[in-house]
Structure 1
């Protein structure tokens, strides 16, 4: 009986210790989307600045290393300018699906700085509405690289506020229109601020 009680007590202590060690978190953030002007092949491409939503799941491998999965969604408008068409417009959905490695630095009080790098895809899907005057468009799925860094401020063992700069290097979309291929890469800036829940 004493052995059973001792074993039960040890299991409770181990379970409590495991429960306190949060190895996973999920976060939701508001992000900005800022794309530069792209010029190439006598085509100029401008995208509107907009806001979107970012959802992330992070799994801690060690106290300093983690793996992260990201999904983001935004809508914006792309303006193509060429010698034969000075005002071609495509309204589009922009979706990101990426995986990244996270390196966490040593905490400074409640501040936890980190860096991230990864790969994934950016999906550009045209929307048929009044913001579009090019109707032969097709969805682009372009593979690119994610990089960035930020800081998490710990509110409690379960919650933190996360602010980060994220950049995504990707080929500029052409929406399947040969005359609008810039054949250039761009860095889309995706700064984000949100809340993470640790479990």
Structure 2
């Protein structure tokens, strides 16, 4: 990733945080609209750093060759916006970003086949889900559980993407974690997350395995309550 691209992503994240803090401050400053205040109080915004660990998959491609797809482990980010009406009724939107390389090898060997060095991707998940917050604390923190679905976009990079096309895969996930309030409007969140999707093939028959894989995404970060 170029320095310019990295800078743009950092600026985007800073802007999101600034917007969240601004809205939070505005919500505190006004009490002229009780209905608006009530809805704002149900919203929270969280940013987590996450690990990305993906299961290898092996299958037979369209050329009748046995191929193993290996995905490198990396770090990424998870941004979540939640609306919680009650402990057992809530919804969330998730966006994740990571960058990793998928290599393709002849099954049972360490030899690269078809694509030497693998396919480097910018990977983003966009998903919606149901979330509940059971009203029983664990170790002084509030638990939550969520499930949902969306899509994961695989975008091969210009430098290491082997000129392959972008591809999206349907994605399903669940997560569970704990949240600890440090102030009425700020806290920390730790969670375990797992996402399921079909292994990408970038529209090429020699990489098509027709196998599903999963990624585990442990994470920790902060949350802002409006």
Given that 1:35 and 1:47 are in contact with CA atoms closer than 8 Å, whether structure 2 keeps it comes out as: yes
1:43 aligned partner: 67
Partner of 1:62: 86
Pick closer, same or farther for the CA change 1:176–1:23 going to 2, 3 Å.
Answer: same
Give, in whole Å, the separation in 2 of the partners of 1:56 and 1:106. 21
**Alpha-carbon distance in 1 for matches of 2:39, 2:92:** 21
Offset at 1:20? 11
Q: How many residues align?
A: 184
CA contact (8 A) 1:81 1:88 kept: no
Alignment-derived partner of residue 79 in structure 1: 103
SS of the residue corresponding to residue 34 of structure 1 reads strand
Residue 141 of structure 2: aligned partner = 111
**8 Å contact 1:125–1:138 — kept in the other structure?**
yes
Whether contact under 8 Å (1:27, 1:194) holds in the other structure is: yes
1:185, 1:80 → 2: CA distance? 15
Q: Which has the higher helix share?
A: 2
Tell me how far apart the structure 2 counterparts of residues 118 and 99 of structure 1 sit (CA, whole Å). Answer: 6
Please give the root-mean-square deviation of Cα atoms over the aligned residues, in Å.
Answer: 2.4
In the aligned structure 1, how far is the partner of 2:105 from the partner of 2:58? 10
Q: Which has the larger radius of gyration?
A: 1
TM superposition score normalised by structure 1: 0.84
For residue 4 of structure 2, what is the aligned residue in structure 1?
none
Distance in 2, Cα, partners of 1:140 & 1:86:
17
- Please say if 1:163 is aligned against 2:190: yes
Runs of 4+ with >4 A deviation: 12-15, 18-21
Kept after mapping to 1: 8 A contact 2:87/2:132: no
- 1:160 positional shift: 1.4
Q: Which runs of 5+ in 1 are unaligned?
A: 1-11
For 2:33 and 2:204, locate their aligned partners in 1 and report how far apart those are by CA, in whole Å: 60
Give the drift of 1:82: 3.3
**Equivalent-residue separation in structure 2 for 1:14 and 1:31 (angstroms):** 37
Unmatched segments (≥5 aa) in structure 2: 1-30, 61-65, 108-112
The C-alpha deviation readout for 1:74-114, integer Å capped at 9, x for no partner, is 10011011385384510000100000101111132741111
